A and B are shown apart, each in its own frame.
Chain A
């Protein structure tokens, strides 16, 4: 019985674990199945993703390809443009306006090429792996080019763009080696931003060479890695690492110098909180719809570029009350002396003022290393009293300031009226001064010489106005606004020179011109040995100089400059001074002449036609009688004849003319003159007139003349030039005929004809 029970419960005991096992297996199978499904799903998704990535990659590839192709086409077209400009150079006359425009065109296309390359390399820029190109270029010229490029655009907004020569250090080391394209991009971008965000005032661009600071010297000398790390620890950004290498590379290079640039504007300004973010978030500065030269690179890229060149950029704090933004950045460039300094600078030095010496800069030429002992206090030499004075009248305050300080740094004495109304006063001061100098030099010794103060505030101007008026030479002793200064004895003031730099738009041109011409004529009278030269600054787009108003009274020696007054043009004008190599010649050299008074030349043909030069008037002292019934004709004739120098009498018809002549003769008879001479030297007679026409009048006049043995040439004014008419004219006794309307040229032709026949004089 027991065995039976045992046998009965055994399968039960086995079934449970088996069942459990089966269930477990089933579950496992389920799970496996599930995972399989998931795996399949995942696989599917993976495949999809891979596909997508592949597509995206291929898209980007084709995009780059298309880009490359497009850029290839753009490059080809650009090359075409550059080539055509090159060819055009041959066709153009050197020195003309067209050539200058071509030069600028060429510069623009070169920039375009640069931009194109930059766009393609944008990714490289962000990675900071953009290669720096080394080329030799003229930094001062680059600065001037960029400033001149943005000048017209800014002027249209009423903003002046000024190249501040600062302390002249850039001029001394303007030949450098470095990446010209990137530097130009940086400057262009900053300037275009400045122009965009400034609506009035000015934008100044200045640059100078910085003496090496202490930390950099230490870096150079030690070059230890732990020191580098210490410097690096003060860095805030990580990506500075790569830049840092470049920086240190530059700093260690004894050949490179630190050049600091500033772009300073009087625009909207950037609030302090945004100063950092402006650089980071380079989408911030949006390009306006104007489509400027902007490359689309934001300030962020500018920052990367600057850092690549070994420097950094930041926004400077401005003084209280000053608005706008001032960007300052520095780069490292390797100046190289092509054996000597630039010829322009050489001239400035040779003048004997020793600019370099006084600025405290010594340059050891032909040596690999350049040492700078620049003094932090930029010495300003007190202007030598016996030097040629310069009067500077410039409308824009900032430009005035920069020009003045630069000239004074060179030791030139500059007198600056703060507004055009003060110009006559300043001119008077110059006059007194020169007279005094001439006076004292002739007397040999003196313990007085004059240093004339610059009037930069109108307050002092109004004070002095009262004193200067009516002041004579002797009373200058008591004038206490002119301070006596010890003069070095034995100075020569052989032929003096005065330079006036006048902004033609500083005030009403007529008045300024009159003040200048008055000064000039007085000057010539008083001190004939001293020469006076005037440089007129005009705006390129709208000429302020009204040629008609002054009508050829412009001195041919005067120079009119229509491009902004800075850079090479400023230097050219300075070179006019005898201390800097200018010659006291009648005609300045081709280099200096900006626009050789072209407008005056345009009026010259007319002048030659009429035969009237500025000095002589061909009909000076002659009396003319005009007989015409048309008031307009009378007015015209009067104007023409008086311009030729004659005194004019008008009348309306032949009868009146006869009367006037008779009266003229009678007057002489009554005053008891024995030998009657003709009352008029020339008669201008219209043929067709009411009451008594020209023919009859002439006949009657000839009868009168016969009685007294006089003869007056009569010029007929006629609209007809047909044979019969002309016959009538000569039959009546007239000498010559002019076709209506009579103008100066025709009149003069007739008169010279008559004179050659012997009828005149």
Chain B
């Protein structure tokens, strides 16, 4: 595929991610921080997020499977997940976490279980989207092109 086509695909894909609420303005901030001194910043941060979050999700799963669920601990984990997902702009994951936290406050186990499922779903969805995004970027770079900037229109 020719570089121009790939670039267009990337732009379209990125736009769709914003439209569908997968990404928000924070992601743009991340992209702004990437420059020659930090050429892989976005990839690094996002990979970090996914590593951390996998662990968090495992912790959450085991915490909710306990006999006596420690809601405070669960809440702490969710809080962390919410923070990190909002810092990379993974909007839908963050929103799922917000709902999760309210159930934690109510100490509603069933609600929490459902929320955990929701969060996991959003998480893996987001992971998939990011992987596609980065693959597209890699392809363009490999073909010798450059990544077109995401134009900041109204989101």
> A631 to B44, alpha carbons, bound, how many Å?
11
A95 within 8 A of B: no
Q: Does any Cβ of B come within 8 Å of A117's Cβ?
A: no
Least CB distance, B17 to chain A, in whole angstroms = 17
Alpha-carbon gap, A743 to B27, bound state (A): 11
Contact B87 A740 (CB under 8 A): yes
Query: What are the residues of chain A within 8 A of B86 when measuring CB–CB?
Result: 740-741
State whether B145 touches A544 (Cβ < 8 A): yes
Interface residues of A in 563-622 (CB under 8 A from B): 599, 602-603, 606
Q: Which residues of A contact B31 (CB under 8 A)?
A: 548
B121: Cβ under 8 A from any A Cβ: no
Judge if A543 is at the interface, Cβ distance under 8 Å: yes
Provide the bound-state CA to CA distance between A744 and B87, in Å: 12
Within 8 Å of chain A (Cβ to Cβ): is B111?
A: no
Number of interface residues of A (CB under 8 A): 34
Does B87 contact A632, Cβ atoms closer than 8 Å? yes
Complex CA–CA separation, A42 to B90 (angstroms)? 91
Q: Mark interface residues in A518-545 (1 if CB within 8 Å of B CB, else 0).
A: 0000000000000000000001011111
- Known interface pairs A548-B32, A602-B152; A636-B87 also in contact (CB < 8 Å): yes
A691 to chain B, nearest CB (A): 14
Among the listed B45, B84, B146, which residue makes an inter-chain contact with A509, where contact means beta carbons less than 8 Å apart? B146
CA distance A415 to B95 in the complex (A): 58
B52 and A639 contacting across the interface, CB-CB below 8 Å: no
| Residue-wise interface mask of A (489-511) relative to B, using a CB-CB cutoff of 8 A (1 in contact, 0 not) | 00000000000000000001110
Evaluate contact between B44 and A551: CB separation under 8 angstroms: no
At the interface, yes or no: A633 with Cβ under 8 Å from chain B?
yes
Distance in Å from the Cβ of A353 to the closest Cβ of chain B?
Answer: 39
Bound: A585/B32 CA distance, A: 31
CB–CB B34/A719 < 8 A: no
A688 within 8 A of B: yes
Contact between B84 and A632, CB atoms less than 8 A apart: yes
For residue A635, CB closer than 8 A to chain B, the reply is yes
A488 partner residues in chain B, CB cutoff 8 A? none
A542 near B79 (CB under 8 angstroms)? no
Task: Tell me if B32 and A636 are in contact (CB < 8 A).
Answer: no
Q: Mark B47-90, 1 if CB is under 8 A from A, else 0.
A: 01100100000000000000000000000100110111011100
B76, A688: Cβ atoms closer than 8 Å: yes
Are A630 and B146 touching (Cβ within 8 A)? no
Given the known inter-chain contacts A510-B36, A740-B83, please indicate yes or no for A635 contacting B148, CB distance below 8 A.
no
Would A741 and B147 count as touching, CB distance under 8 A?
no
A57 interfacial by beta-carbon distance below 8 Å: no
Of B4, B48, B151, B152, most A-chain CB atoms within 10 Å? B4
With known contacts A542-B4, A635-B44, A743-B26, A510–B87 Cβ distance under 8 A: no
A541–B83 CB distance below 8 A: no
Complex CA–CA separation, A661 to B31 (angstroms): 32
CB contact between B35 and one of A539, A543, A549, A743 (< 8 Å): that residue:
A549
For residues 24 through 43 of chain B, which have their beta carbon under 8 Å from a beta carbon of chain A?
A: 26, 29-36, 38, 41
Contact A636 B45 (CB under 8 A): yes
Cα separation A445 to B1 with both chains bound (whole Å): 59
B151 and A602 form a contact (CB under 8 A): yes
B91 to chain A, nearest CB (A): 12
B88 contacts which chain A residues (CB < 8 A)?
A: 632
Q: Is A71 an interface residue (CB 8 A)?
A: no
**A690 — nearest CB in chain B belongs to which residue?**
B76
Instruction: Report the separation of the CA atoms of residues A158 and B3 in the bound assembly, to the nearest whole angstrom.
Output: 11
Tell me if B36 and A633 are in contact (CB < 8 A).
no
> What residue of chain A has the Cβ atom nearest to residue B8's Cβ?
A542
Complex Cα distance, B38 from A123, in Å, reads 68
B149 CB, min distance to chain A CBs, angstroms = 4
Chain B CB within 10 Å, residue with most, of A509, A541, A542, A632: A632
- Shortest Cβ distance from residue A131 to the other chain B in the assembled complex, whole angstroms: 45
Residue A643, interface by CB 8 Å = yes
Q: Which of B7, B49, B84, B149 contacts A599 (CB 8 A)?
A: B149
9 contacts between A and B (CB under 8 A): A158-B2, A542-B148, A603-B32, A630-B80, A630-B84, A630-B87, A632-B52, A632-B88, A741-B83
Chain A positions near chain B (C-beta within 8 angstroms): 158, 508-510, 539, 541-549, 551, 599, 602-603, 606, 630-633, 635-636, 639-640, 643, 688, 719, 740-741, 743-744
Beyond the given pairs A544-B145, A632-B48, 16 more chain A to chain B contacts, judged by CB atoms under 8 angstroms and listed by A's residue number, are: A542-B3, A542-B4, A548-B149, A549-B36, A551-B32, A630-B80, A630-B83, A631-B52, A632-B45, A632-B84, A632-B87, A635-B45, A636-B33, A636-B45, A640-B33, A743-B26
Lowest 6 A-B CB distances belong to which pairs?
A741-B87, A542-B4, A546-B146, A547-B149, A743-B29, A639-B33
Name B residues whose Cβ lies closer than 8 Å to a Cβ of A.
2-4, 7-8, 26, 29-36, 38, 41, 44-45, 48-49, 52, 76, 79-80, 82-84, 86-88, 144-149, 151-152
